Structures are given as C-alpha cells and as structure tokens.
Structure 1
Amino acid sequence: MSEKTEQVFSSVVSHNPYDNDYVSGISSFLAYDKDITFKKGQYSISYINTDSFINAQISISKNIPEEDIYDAILSKTYDELALDQALSYKIEYIELYNALDAENKYFNVFIVDPLVIDETFEESIKQIKYIDTIIPSPLLFKSLYSKELITNSGAHVFLYFERTSAFIAIYNEKDFIFSKTIEYSFEQLHENFCELYGERIEFEEFIDFIKNEDLKNTISPYKEFFIKLYKDVFYNINDILTYVKRAYEIKKFEYIYIGTQFQTASNLDEICEFELQIKTSILDFDYGFESAEGENISLLHSLMQLHVILPDEEKYICNFTNYERPPRFIQRESGKLILIAAASLVLGFAYPVGNWIASYAQGLQKDILNNEYVEIHNKKTTREATIKNRMADKNKALKLLNEQKNSYIDKKGTLVKIHDVKVNYLMKAKTLTSLTKDLNNFNVKLESVLYAQKEKSDKFELGLVSYKSIRITKLIKHLTKIYEGTMKFSIDKIFYDEDEKKYFSTLKVEVL
C-alpha cells in the first residue's frame, strides 16, 4: 500500500511526538517550526519508537494466495505471540528474502496497540490534524541505503540515543532484520551516572558535560565515572550483538553507526570501536538538505524527510497512522450521496418524480449517518472503559513505586551511616595508631589530639612534647619520608617552656 495520496503537497512536516517538535521541509530547506498549524498542502510524517511496538519474524507457506497473505499473517501472529484475542492490534509487515527456503515466505511483523498510538499522538493531532505516515523508527535507516549514503554490504548496526529512549537496529545486506530497545536513553544514562558517582547532579549539568567535555582532555572529576558509564553501555550492547549473531547466523558485523539527539564532545565512535573491536563511525551524512545557520536538524527528522521523497519501491511501507486524510469529496460516501441528491433536484425540475427521489436520498443519508453514529459511539464507549481501567492500574503502580522508592531511600541512608562507621572511624584509628608508634620511637610524647574533616579529607592536629627539640625535628623528617604521597605534615614553631623544662609544638597532619 502506498503511503502517498494522489494529492500534490507543497511541504513536508516531520514530527517527533516524544519531544513534540516539528521540522518543516520546503524543497530542500529544513527548519524547526515552533508554531506549526495544519495546512492543507502539507504532508505529515512521524514515528513510533521501539517501546511502542512488538517486532517478530514469522513464516507462512508460499502457496497462500496474495490476497490472503495479510489474513494468514494476522492469524499466525496472534497464535505465535499469544496475543490477546479480545484486542484489535494494528499489524504491519515487511517481507524478508530467504533463498534457502523454497516452501515458505518470511516476514518481519510489527504489532502496535491502537491505544498506544492514540496516547502518543493525542497532542499532535490538535496542531496538525492529520498524520499521513507513522513508521517504526528503525525502518527509517533504509533510506541511507536507498540514497547510497551507505554503499558497503554486510551486517550493520545502528545505535541511536534520544533523551527519553534509545534503540539498536540491525540491517543485513541492506535489509532490516532486528531491533530492540536499550535502556540507555540520556535520562537513563543520567540516572546510571548519578549511581556511579554517588551523588546526584542536575540533568542539565550532565548534558552540558556530554556536549562540551572531551574525555581525552578533560580534568573534570566526572571523567572516570563517564568512562565507566560508557564501558557499561557498550558491554551490554556487545551481549545483544552476540545474541543476534547466534540467532540470525551472522558471521560478523562489518560496521556500527552511532547517532545521538545531543551532539557529544567525546568521540563515541572511537570508544565503541575500542570496546567492541568493530569499525564504527558517527551517523553524519549529507542528506541533501539545507538548514538555517546554527540550526542542527536531528537525525530522525532528516531520515523522515528523506523517507517521504523516496519512491515507494525504495523504502519500507509500514504505516501505523490512525489519522488519515479523508478521501476527495467525490470519493466519500457522503459526497456521493450529496451529488446524487443534487442530481435528483435537477431532474426534479424536469420530472414529477423529483420530489420523491430527493426525499428518498435524504432518508438514505439519515440511515447512513445513524449507522455511523452507532458504530462510533460503541467504539468510544469501549475505549473510554479501557482507558479508565488502564488509568486505575497506572495509579496503583505509581503508588507501589513511591512506596518502594521511600523504602529504598531509608535503606540507603542506613547503609551509608553503617559504612561511615565501619570504614571512616576505622581509618582514623589506624592513622592515629601508626603515628603514635612513630612518636614513641623518637621519644616524643603526645599531649593532645584534634580531628577535623575539611574538603573530603581528614586533618589532625597533634600536640607534641619532648625534652629535646631535635627529637621533634627528627620525627618530622622521618614522617615526611615514610608517609610521602599519603600524608602531608606541617609545623609552625617549636617553643621551650622554662617552667616545665620541655619543648612544645603542634604538628598538623593532612591525610591525602
């Protein structure tokens, strides 16, 4: 089924429903449009991310007639994936080429709950009214092959990281075979980083570091934690690639392409290539579009704009829209009815039966509208009940989540206190014990001990007493040499007390 109607469009609007931003394309010029409104002459396209659909491969016999293929796929999809028969899922598919099996056809099937579409695009249709195409995001990469932006063959991996989602898509010999959500959206990466760092930082500060700090050159205290974070990401991606190799009998992956919603100062392709030992590059091609100076059009917007202008045979047709334009007036049932009624009126002036024909046409129109109203009302009632149940389930889940969060916070606070007692106090005691032994070796007495923690380091002030000042100076020389690199020692002065016939001094110790 073609995605385009017979109407000629003057512009293309691509829409990201998760960030609710729009890009208008006129000719080859693209620009973000903050005040988008419906225009009759615009073609609109959007996408759903991998969280919104189920993807699976199924096979059917080649003996099934072409006109029965969709029904066969529908039936087998419900059976093999154990879908709820009471729900009317939207199901689209693309055919896979398999030269080894002469008896069966293979298809990549995409399954979406219509309620997910309604919830995702609820606000969108208020602005643009119609959405001509809604396509699963991993299928947009097909355009890169069709435009010959990627010409090499073999198995290719596409990684894309957005603010709220991230996914992996795999193509083999320029055809889509696999996609999966990965738990590494920028918001999830932010949460993981805060856990590694042991302290919460603002999301804006996290993104600012990603955009402006190169891990090769930065001296930021965040550096080592970002390195751990990226290692974890690519370690888990490697597990997915290992599974795909085994499941789809792929010998090796030729290339990995990485795209991100936010530009990164660090070369993620170099990090990925080092960790996975697969040649990697950033998804940065000349798509043939121009944009305003200083305005960076995101990857998915560029791919959606590219998808629209390609011929149907050079892209995947997999459209989940619920918001199609009505057909032309003369193609609508109501339009046909009105034309019939108009013709009847004209004939009424020539024939006495004109009044009867007009009356009959109006009655027919009323019956059609009544039937349509009953059908729509039933759908509305069913969906309202479903939404109400889902909202109740959602509220229960949120309540349980809040309880678990509060429990987690209490347990975390207890563990932190236990850790502080077991580790920090033990370290202070060990430090004082070690220093006391050195004092005894040089026959220097300890008069007082003061402790303070400043700027995350331990500091001691030791009051020293000795009958000879040289013992104190030798002690300090010994301590400086023995604890070089782990402690820092300083002393202001040594003074002599005539009454007690002793030398006194204060030794300052900082544990590095």
Structure 2
Amino acid sequence: MLKLKSKETKVKKKKQKAEKGSTTIVTIDRVNEQTFGFAGNEVFHYERIKKGAKNEFYITYLPYKDILTTTVEVSRSTPDDEVIDAITIKTYEDLSLNPDDDFKITYLESDMSDNDNRIYNVFVVNNSILRSDLSYIADNTKYIDYVAKAPFLMYSLYKRNILPSNTVDCFIYFQEEDAFLVIYQNGKYLDSRSIRYNLKFIWDKFVELSGDRIDINDFYSMLSKDGLISENAIDSDNLIQVFDEIFLYISDILTSVTKVNKISLDNVFFSTDIGNIKGSEEFITERLGVEPKPFDFNIAINQKDFEDLTQLDILMMLTAKEYLINKDDEYNYSAFLRPPPLAQRPVGKLIGVGVAALIAILAYPAYQYGHGFYNQKLTEKKEIEYTQKDKEKKRIESALANLQDQINKKREEIAAEQKILKERSDLLTAMYNKKVEYPMKSKAIFDMTNMINKQSGELVAIHNIDENLTFEVRTETEKKMTELLKAISNTKGYNVDTKLILLDENNQTIAYESNVSVEMKK
C-alpha cells in the first residue's frame, strides 16, 4: 500500500455531521485504502463503521488496470436493436474474451463516427472483480452507491463547469501499481491508454540506476517533497533519466492517439497519488510540446489540511455530486446498490399481487365477461389482419410470377437477337475475307496472262472452280513450260497445281500443254 510520511503536525480526525436533509459523500479508494467524507464544503477522514446510513452516499472506482478497452466499428445499416449484439460479438473477438467468464460490457459512441460506420469505445470489466474485490467494502458500508471507471472520473470536471468544454485535454495519472492517460474532447471522453510507468516501476528503475535499495515509501516521500531536484546530484541525474524515458514513451503514445483521432492537445494535466512531482513540468513541455496545467482541483475549504487526499478522491466527490443531481446509472458499475423502494422490491410486488388478486376475486364475473369480450375483439382484429396480409401475400406472389414471365421473355428475345447478331457477324467476316484476304480473280488473270506472254506461251482456256482458277496453257518447248510454271510458283499470292505436261502430237505444230490450277492464298 502506498503511504507518505506524515507531517509533524497531524490533522486530527474528526467526524463531520452533515446538515439536516443533506447527504454526506463518502469516497473509498481501495488502492490506497483511504476513506474520506465530504459534507458542507469540508473534507474529513471517515471511519467505515456504519452500515448503509441513509444520508451517506458511498462511491469508489475501478482502477484502469482492471478495465479492458477496445474500439469497435458497426455499420450504420445494422438495425438499432442489433447494435448491442454486434458490439458484444466484436468485443469478444477483439479482446479474445473467454465466453465462460462473466463480463460487464459498456460502450460509448465516438465523435469519430462517419456516414458509413458508427465507432464505439467499449469498456469491459470482469464481474468477478465487481463482486469479490469490492465485497469487503460492502461488508463495512452494506451498500456501494456508485462505482466509477477511473478514466471517467474526469467527466465531472466538465459537468460541474470546472473546466471549459471546448478544448482537447489530456490527463496523465500515476498510481503505485497503475498509470494511465485519458483524453477528453469538448467535454466528452475520446480515448485512453494504459501506461507501464507506475510509481512502483519508477522506484524499480531508480534503484536499478542508483544501486541503492532505498525503501519504497522513503522514495515516495523524497519524490513528493523534493521532486526531481534532490540534494544528491546523482539521485537527481537518475530521476531525470527515468522521467526523460517516461515522457518519451508518453510522447509516442500521444503522437499515435492524436494522429488516429486527428486532434491536437490544448492542455495536459499531470498528477500522482503522491501529489505533483516538481520538475516534471519541463519534461511535459519539452517532450509533449504543451505547457502543463496544474492537476490540482479544490472543492473543500480545508482541503490543504489533508496531504493524503488525492485528486482521484476529489474527482470521486465531484462525480458523486453530479450523480445526486442527475441519477444517471449508465456507467455505474456497482453490484451492491441500495434496494429500490418497497413498490419495486419483490416483497412489495408480492403485496401488490395479493391486493390485485383480492380485487380480481371480488370482480371475477366482470373480469370473465371483460376478458371474453377482449379475446373476441382480439380474435376479430387478428382475422382482419390475417385477411389483409394474405391478400398482400397473394398480390406479391402474382407480381413475382409476372416478373419471372417478363424475365423469361426477355431471355428468349436476347437469345434470338444474339443468333441474328452471330449470323450477321459471320456474313461480315466472310465478306471481309472475300474482299481483303483474297486477291481479285481479275488481277489473277491479268498476272497469269503477263507471265504466259513472257514465255511466248498461249492461253487456251480459263476455268473457274470454287476458290481456284484453272488455266489451259500451251508453249512451244518443254523448257518454256517449266520456266512458266516456276515463275508462277515464285509469284506471291499463288499456288500452282499441275499434274503433268503433255506434248500435243495431234496438232501439226508441236507444242506442250498443261492445265495450271491457281489457288488464291490468304
């Protein structure tokens, strides 16, 4: 447990009586095991000896380390009645929660939501902590009226108009075994992060650097009294080294958070369970780039008399004052609430049922008639609703059938059009091949005639068969016939097919004949 050395002049504990009709706020810090009362603008030490006093309001908080946090996106198309289920499922997935454990899950919609998605800050607490870890408090007080989350305590500063609601503020707080930072934008929670550098971690680092195993409570007293500037220069150097490392680490966290949320910090508030640490301001200014503001909020006229009163105690008092006005239990984690008024308790409901039963017995005939009449009217109403819905169902089925017929007809029309399109495409392809891919037959005749004349040959006849032209050719010698055929074969665009060369002996003039088939190439 964190303890500071007491001042030489101790504050005398006294029991403060609240004004008649007013409520005494009792803050319970289970981390430091400190309990304070607040009434009539004065603070006093409180001994938990009473059980559930009617005019006392008991409040405590959950340390940040007991809270799991995540950010969940839910599509705006998700129906409102399914949002909670969507958040719960995604939270279990993101945090790998054991489905066999019992968790209390709360959420808060972020201002970073856009047109497509809602963004929620989700907070998860294991219900075993709420019950077992707080039960020893309830054993003394009987009830716990409010259990807050540590990062939500700062909200009271804006609700009570202590801080303006038009800035971006960062609160950094160190405890013995816990540390966290939380950011508020325009008076609303925006984001928070756990910090590994708690007070005990700082003590460990100091001992490691100095080699001096100083008692941990002596270290806290030295840090609270002297800050980072110790009479021992070596101690100062070691502390400066540790705090430089701390605020470099915090700077990295804030750089990431501000970048993700697209914000810039206006104010930084820093404090610890041992109070402000002198000399830390320079690190905040240099490493975080923001002038620090005092994390020292005063609400009691005698507050300075209590050195063991922490800022979290003050924030609990402010939170309780706000709750007593607005009675908002949305983020109240208490499992030890006071029983509701008699009418809302089981015994009260039982009494109500008994009275109602008596009235029902006395009015049984009227009830039977009224109940029968009600059932008859209800049946008639349901029959009318059924007829209307059945009629609507048939109308929709008919419309769907008509749409299916239209779809089938359109498919047939598309198939017919595709067939016509294919036929036309094939025709155009054939026309193109005729006009472009093959030489014109007139050109083939012209070329053949020229080649025959060059060999002093004679064109006897031309036959047109399919894609081919067959020329009957006659030359005076076999050599000229051979050269003619060779010339034709070497001409681009033609294939020559001749099976034999004949000598025409029936003619008085000796000549050689051949049928030359010319195929036009592609």
TM-score category of the 2 structures, normalised to the smaller one: 0.5 to 0.7
1:483 is aligned to none
2:291 pairs with 279, 287, 299, which one? 279
Q: What TM-score do the two structures reach when normalised by structure 2?
A: 0.59
Q: Which letter maps to 2:171?
A: F
Q: Against the structure 1 CA distance between its residues 224 and 129, is the aligned structure 2 distance closer, same or farther, given a 3 Å change threshold?
A: same
1:360 is aligned to none
- The answer to whether residue 160 in structure 2 is matched with residue 147 in structure 1 is yes
Take 1:264 and 1:175, find their aligned partners in 2: how far apart are those partners? Answer: 25
Q: Against the structure 1 CA distance between its residues 328 and 271, is the aligned structure 2 distance closer, same or farther, given a 3 Å change threshold?
A: same
Identity of aligned residues (%): 24
Q: 1:9, 1:43 within 8 Å by CA — same for their partners in 2? A: no
2:242 is aligned to 229
* 1:418-437 residue CA offsets vs partner (Å, 9 max, x unmatched): xxxxxxxxxxxxxxxxxxxx
Take 2:233 and 2:96, find their aligned partners in 1: how far apart are those partners? Answer: 51
Matched position secondary structure for 1:253: coil
1:26 is aligned to 39
Alpha-carbon deviation of 1:164?
A: 2.6
Q: What TM-score do the two structures reach when normalised by structure 1?
A: 0.60
2:343 is aligned to 330
- The answer to whether residue 198 in structure 2 is matched with residue 185 in structure 1 is yes
2:109 is aligned to 95
Matched position secondary structure for 2:305: coil
Alpha-carbon deviation of 1:44?
A: 1.7
1:304 is aligned to 316
Q: 1:142, 1:315 within 8 Å by CA — same for their partners in 2? A: no
Q: Which letter maps to 2:340?
A: P
Q: Against the structure 1 CA distance between its residues 263 and 87, is the aligned structure 2 distance closer, same or farther, given a 3 Å change threshold?
A: closer
2:179 pairs with 159, 166, 171, which one? 166
1:108 is aligned to 121
2:305 is aligned to 294
Alpha-carbon deviation of 1:167?
A: 1.1
2:85 is aligned to 71
Alpha-carbon deviation of 1:346?
A: 12
- The answer to whether residue 50 in structure 2 is matched with residue 37 in structure 1 is yes
1:462 is aligned to none
Q: Which letter maps to 1:205?
A: D
Alpha-carbon deviation of 1:283?
A: 0.4
Q: Against the structure 1 CA distance between its residues 92 and 193, is the aligned structure 2 distance closer, same or farther, given a 3 Å change threshold?
A: same
Matched position secondary structure for 1:235: helix
Alignment of 1:368-379 (within 5 A): none
Matched position secondary structure for 1:290: coil
Take 1:342 and 1:148, find their aligned partners in 2: how far apart are those partners? Answer: 49
Alpha-carbon deviation of 1:12?
A: 1.8
2:274 pairs with 245, 262, 265, which one? 262
1:53 is aligned to 67
1:133 is aligned to 146
Take 2:140 and 2:317, find their aligned partners in 1: how far apart are those partners? Answer: 19
- The answer to whether residue 93 in structure 2 is matched with residue 82 in structure 1 is no
2:470 is aligned to none
Alpha-carbon deviation of 1:139?
A: 1.1
Q: 1:21, 1:34 within 8 Å by CA — same for their partners in 2? A: no
* 1:19-38 residue CA offsets vs partner (Å, 9 max, x unmatched): 22222122432222134432
Q: 1:159, 1:167 within 8 Å by CA — same for their partners in 2? A: yes
Q: Against the structure 1 CA distance between its residues 214 and 58, is the aligned structure 2 distance closer, same or farther, given a 3 Å change threshold?
A: closer
Q: Which letter maps to 2:88?
A: L
* 1:59-106 residue CA offsets vs partner (Å, 9 max, x unmatched): 32345555544333223322443322222311011222246x123322
Count of residues paired in the alignment: 340
Q: 2:37, 2:44 within 8 Å by CA — same for their partners in 1? A: yes
Alpha-carbon deviation of 1:51?
A: 0.8
Take 1:316 and 1:278, find their aligned partners in 2: how far apart are those partners? Answer: 35
Q: 1:18, 1:120 within 8 Å by CA — same for their partners in 2? A: no
Alpha-carbon deviation of 1:231?
A: 1.0
2:220 pairs with 194, 200, 207, which one? 207
Q: 1:16, 1:46 within 8 Å by CA — same for their partners in 2? A: yes
Take 1:174 and 1:331, find their aligned partners in 2: how far apart are those partners? Answer: 35
Alpha-carbon deviation of 1:327?
A: 1.6
Take 1:267 and 1:80, find their aligned partners in 2: how far apart are those partners? Answer: 39
Alignment of 1:376-455 (within 5 A): none
Q: Against the structure 1 CA distance between its residues 333 and 172, is the aligned structure 2 distance closer, same or farther, given a 3 Å change threshold?
A: same
Q: 1:159, 1:168 within 8 Å by CA — same for their partners in 2? A: yes
Q: Against the structure 1 CA distance between its residues 292 and 108, is the aligned structure 2 distance closer, same or farther, given a 3 Å change threshold?
A: closer
Q: Against the structure 1 CA distance between its residues 11 and 271, is the aligned structure 2 distance closer, same or farther, given a 3 Å change threshold?
A: same
Take 1:33 and 1:112, find their aligned partners in 2: how far apart are those partners? Answer: 28
Alpha-carbon deviation of 1:225?
A: 1.0
* 1:210-269 residue CA offsets vs partner (Å, 9 max, x unmatched): 12225447345411111111111111111211221333233x322211011113462322
Q: Against the structure 1 CA distance between its residues 328 and 16, is the aligned structure 2 distance closer, same or farther, given a 3 Å change threshold?
A: same
Q: 2:228, 2:280 within 8 Å by CA — same for their partners in 1? A: no
Alpha-carbon deviation of 1:186?
A: 1.7
Query: Unaligned stretches of 5+ in structure 1?
Result: 1-7, 352-512
Alpha-carbon deviation of 1:338?
A: 4.2
Take 2:282 and 2:44, find their aligned partners in 1: how far apart are those partners? Answer: 31
Q: 1:164, 1:185 within 8 Å by CA — same for their partners in 2? A: yes
Alpha-carbon deviation of 1:130?
A: 1.4
- The answer to whether residue 13 in structure 2 is matched with residue 14 in structure 1 is no
Take 2:24 and 2:160, find their aligned partners in 1: how far apart are those partners? Answer: 20
Alpha-carbon deviation of 1:340?
A: 4.8
Q: 2:104, 2:124 within 8 Å by CA — same for their partners in 1? A: yes
Q: 1:142, 1:316 within 8 Å by CA — same for their partners in 2? A: no
Q: Which letter maps to 2:219?
A: F
Alpha-carbon deviation of 1:201?
A: 0.9
Take 1:324 and 1:137, find their aligned partners in 2: how far apart are those partners? Answer: 19
Q: 1:50, 1:179 within 8 Å by CA — same for their partners in 2? A: no
Q: 2:28, 2:35 within 8 Å by CA — same for their partners in 1? A: yes
Alpha-carbon deviation of 1:196?
A: 1.0
Aligned-CA RMSD value:
3.1
Take 1:22 and 1:282, find their aligned partners in 2: how far apart are those partners? Answer: 24
Q: Against the structure 1 CA distance between its residues 315 and 163, is the aligned structure 2 distance closer, same or farther, given a 3 Å change threshold?
A: farther
Instruction: Choose 211-220 or 310-319, whichever is displaced more.
Output: 310-319
Take 1:347 and 1:74, find their aligned partners in 2: how far apart are those partners? Answer: 43
Q: Report the structure number with the largest CA radius of gyration.
A: 2
1:247 is aligned to 260
Q: 1:159, 1:257 within 8 Å by CA — same for their partners in 2? A: yes
Q: Against the structure 1 CA distance between its residues 62 and 28, is the aligned structure 2 distance closer, same or farther, given a 3 Å change threshold?
A: farther
Q: Against the structure 1 CA distance between its residues 216 and 189, is the aligned structure 2 distance closer, same or farther, given a 3 Å change threshold?
A: closer
